[in-house]
Amino acid sequence: MLTAQHLFKKYDAHTVVNDISLSVSKAEIVSINGPSGAGKSTLLHLLGGLDKPDSGSVLIEGIDLLSLPSKMQSEFRNHRIGFVFQFHHLLPEFTALENVSIPLWIGKKGTREVQKTSAEMLSLVGLEARMNHKPSELSGGEQQRVAIARALVTKPAIVFADEPTGNLDSVNAQSVHELFLTLRKELQQTFVMITHNDALAALTDRTVTMRDGKMVSEQNH
């Protein structure tokens, strides 16, 4: 599903990602941990095509993302990559259904398809009764579920998540953990996520530990 080879990234004179290679299989859930400043978020941005490495390559489904023209990169991200962040970034004036629909509108899908697919995805994450509620009317856990539904609505090949439960209490965090496992089982979804939550990391297939920009260990669960 994903193959990254010898990724390097510097900011000023500081090497943030230092010769990292990583492969992820379809339907695998991989967690990345390490201390603050280890380079985890930068690595995730490189893997997802949100930032360019100084050197190295990233292939998703065999496609060299970095070699694509800018417009094609954007289209590939919109259709084949999903992102979930610690802060859900929902638009406050839109309902849950409208927020989830945004990637499909960007992809120029028809109105009927957009509404049907978005509603199905919200049902899958357990929010069929909350579709017409705005973010201010939803709990923190519900808002993050909307963000996850939005990331998955285009049926991406892979989802990158940066501290997806970082702002949630333990009950909501556990609910999101179980949701990822359900989505992997039902949709054969692939996840690469950063987490400091040991309980979530233990549920993943493999944990990669970073320190000072380098991958220092891997642990299979």
pLDDT at 207: 94
State the pLDDT confidence band at 18, using cuts at 50, 70 and 90.
Answer: very high
Taking the C-alpha atoms of residue 150 and residue 102, their distance in angstroms, rounded to an integer, is: 8
**206-218: pLDDT as tens digits:** 999 999 999 999 9
Q: For residues 216 and 204, what is the distance between their CA atoms, to the nearest angstrom?
A: 18
Mean pLDDT of the chain: 88
Q: Hey, what domains does the chain have and what are their CATH numbers?
A: 26-36+74-220 (3.40.50.300)
Total-model pTM: 0.85
DSSP string, 133-187: --GGGS-HHHHHHHHHHHHHTT--SEEEEESTTTTS-HHHHHHHHHHHHHHHHHH
